[in-house]
Structure 1
Amino acid sequence: MAYSINQDCQGCQACVRNCPTQAISGVRREVHEIDSQKCIDCGTCGRVCPYNAVNEPSGTIAQRVKRADWYRPTFDYRTCISCGLCLTICPVSCLDLDDPTARRLTEGLPYLKVPLACVGCGFCESVCSVGAIMLVPRSSVND
């Protein structure tokens, strides 16, 4: 079940500007709509909405979160096996390998290449089979 926008929406378009999959549409100053086929349940829309107009899949109202408090990935390179699944699943392509000349994913280690693009969805953490990725508050990570 995808996120949804309720009648408290003021059409400010903050969600439209921040959605990584362009799943939200609507006319300015009118209630917007989320396309459940495009929504990846990352929660970005709810974190940026100033009107508490976004319902989480559970039905509760998503709370606005300051961007400085969004989560972002950190990597345990002692555990990482360089499989590259985190790079593949990232909806905003903010991860990359530390060795740009690597011919295979196993020749480099993942890192957050574009920190400001990260929406803190947690997909990278959930796909990591060895638990080498942990999400922490953005404010506790050096860019």
Structure 2
Amino acid sequence: MAYTITDNCTGCGSCSRICPTGAITGEKKETHEIKADLCIDCGSCGRVCPAGAVADPFGIPALRVKKSQWLAPVFDRKRCMACVICLDACPTGCLALGAPQGKDPNGYPVMEDLSACLGCGLCVEDCPADAVTLAHRDVA
């Protein structure tokens, strides 16, 4: 299932600019469309839509959220197996192994680029060790 854009769309393009897969198309000031085969259900389009024109896969309108209030992953090193599945799941590549300034010799995942993080939770969903959770950005 994929997110959809309703007739409330004003064609501002916020959703297409944030989409990590290029799933959203449309002309300026015209209703945009989400290509279901490219949508990864990250929800970022709904969090940036000023018109409330994005519905989740269940048809529920997504709520706009300020980026400063988006969630970000937090890693539990006691549970982490350093398998890098979370890195592979991340659609924006904001995660890396080791610390941004100097590599961690244990190769644990870290947030390398918080500004690129969509707070989508795909890293959480794919982690086989349940070592990733989402928290407010000031905690992450």
TM-score range, shorter chain: over 0.9
Deviations 1:43-75 (A, max 9, x none): 000000000000110011111011111110011
Residue identity opposite 1:80 in structure 2: C
Equivalent residue, structure 1, for 2:22 = 22
Which whole-Å CA distance do the structure 2 matches of 1:65 and 1:101 have between them? 33
User: Runs of 5+ in structure 1 lacking a partner?
Assistant: none
Equivalent residue, structure 1, for 2:49 = 49
Provide closer, same or farther for how the CA distance between residues 57 and 50 of structure 1 changes in structure 2, counting only shifts above 3 A.
Answer: same
Residue identity opposite 1:55 in structure 2: A
Which whole-Å CA distance do the structure 2 matches of 1:121 and 1:93 have between them? 12
Provide closer, same or farther for how the CA distance between residues 101 and 139 of structure 1 changes in structure 2, counting only shifts above 3 A.
Answer: closer
Query: CA RMSD, aligned part only?
Result: 1.6
Equivalent residue, structure 2, for 1:61 = 61
The SS at the match of 1:135 is strand
Deviations 1:17-63 (A, max 9, x none): 10011100000000000000100000000000000000110011111
The SS at the match of 1:47 is helix
Equivalent residue, structure 2, for 1:139 = 138
Which whole-Å CA distance do the structure 1 matches of 2:91 and 2:103 have between them? 23
The SS at the match of 1:140 is coil
- What is the CA distance between 1:140 and its match in structure 2? 3.0
Which whole-Å CA distance do the structure 2 matches of 1:139 and 1:12 have between them? 29
Which whole-Å CA distance do the structure 1 matches of 2:139 and 2:53 have between them? 29
Residue identity opposite 1:134 in structure 2: T
- What is the CA distance between 1:137 and its match in structure 2? 1.5
Identity rate, percent: 46
- What is the CA distance between 1:113 and its match in structure 2? 0.6
Q: How does 1:1-143 map to 2 (within 5 A)?
A: 1-98=1-98, 107-141=106-140
- What is the CA distance between 1:138 and its match in structure 2? 1.6
Count of aligned pairs between the two proteins: 138
